[in-house]
Amino acid sequence: MAKVEIYTSIMCPYCSRALALLRAKNIAFEQIDVSMSSDLRQAMRSRAAGRTSVPQIFIDDEHIGGCDELMALESAGHLDALLRGQS
């Protein structure tokens, strides 16, 4: 399985939606809450090419984007292959 990291914040509906999809697929992931940490938020920004919105999602250290991009991958049928580590 692929390594999945998702940067989130409290009370973010897009974060909740992305997390729900990953949970529905029984995918292990690391959730990094940037709500109360400027250092974590800066690390996210650096990894995500300057993006400041959450969620920011990485699969095997590749920046996927946010919730919309994750859902688009799912709709196109490409997410499962990425999650299996087959890009």
* Number of Cα atoms under 13 Å in the Cβ half of residue 57: 26
Per-residue pLDDT for the chain (87 aa), expressed as one digit of tens each?
899 999 999 999 999 999 999 999 999 999 999 999 999 999 999 999 999 999 999 999 999 999 999 999 999 999 999 999 876
What is the predicted pLDDT for the residue at 7?
98
CATH number at residue 38: 3.40.30.10
What is the predicted pLDDT for the residue at 86?
77
What is the predicted pLDDT for the residue at 87?
64
Domain residues for the domain of 45 are 4-83
Going from the C-alpha of 64 to that of each of 29, 37, 48, 68, the distances in angstroms are 14, 22, 9, 10
* Number of domains comprising the chain: 1
What is the predicted pLDDT for the residue at 1?
85
